[in-house]
Amino acid sequence: MYITWLGQSCFKLQDKIGSDGVLLVTDPYGDEIGLKMPHFEADIITVSHGHFDHNNTGAIRGNPFIINTAGEYEIKAVFIEGVEAWHDEKSGGERGQDIIYRIEMEDISITHLGDLGHILDTKQLEKLEGTDILLIPVGGKYTINAAKAVEVISQIEPRIVIPMHYKVPGLKAEIDGVEKFIKELGLKPRNEEKLRISKKDLPQEDMELVVLGQYS
């Protein structure tokens, strides 16, 4: 499968390249954030919460199935479970709800944390057990910061970590860049324009940090 980062919390997940493949997009954003959201067709959209930098579903062409609530879904052989969480440390009192998505595609389990604002509880962790690839916000201010992201990673214990929701050129939000997180985690990153991965390619022992190029 292929994982492409489009900035903020937006990724393209594809089981294969071509018209016969399934394409899932997470958290498409509005151009108001200072980045230009690419337009393309997709089969599935997941939306972690209703803020404009995560719910621009109108940017996606075709007739995608839109998921914006917790629960279990199966679309085109992709299994998705939405898990309730919060955008802050006050049970949503400051920024509302966040939906974590556990996505099973090509026998790989991917967890997208959305704009997570807190350390996970036991019930949430049970739902995320066995995560292979973790897509985690690291920029702080509106989400968990670098230090808390490292805590969450230690809770989930994925095989591959891919950071998201951090400062890049053009982004108007004043959040931390990825460098702070890399230093906090203490792993040398593998830089990729687009991650091509299969079940057999997943690391079996040491966790890997992969930093994806924006707009790949």
Residues 171-188: tens digit of each pLDDT: 998 899 999 999 999 999
Whether 151 is in a domain gets the answer: yes
Whether 109 is in a domain gets the answer: yes
Stretches in the chain below the pLDDT threshold 70: 18-19, 50, 52, 54, 87-96, 214-216
**What long-range pairs does 73-76 form, CB within 8 A, spacing at least 24?**
75/43, 75/44, 76/22, 76/43, 76/44
Whether 211 is in a domain gets the answer: no
Q: What is the pLDDT of residues 122-160, one digit of tens each?
A: 999 999 999 999 999 999 888 999 999 999 999 999 999
| Structural domain count, the chain | 1
| pTM (2 d.p.) | 0.93
Name the token pair of 143. Answer: 């989400």
Whether 70 is in a domain gets the answer: yes
Whether 87 is in a domain gets the answer: yes
How confident is the model at residue 71, as a pLDDT?
A: 96
DSSP string, 66-106: EE-SSEEEEETTEEEEEEEEESSSSTTTTT-EEEEEEEEET
Whether 123 is in a domain gets the answer: yes
Residue 185: CATH number of its domain: 3.60.15.10
Whether 139 is in a domain gets the answer: yes
Whether 207 is in a domain gets the answer: no
How confident is the model at residue 121, as a pLDDT?
A: 93
Q: Which domain holds residue 17?
A: 2-198
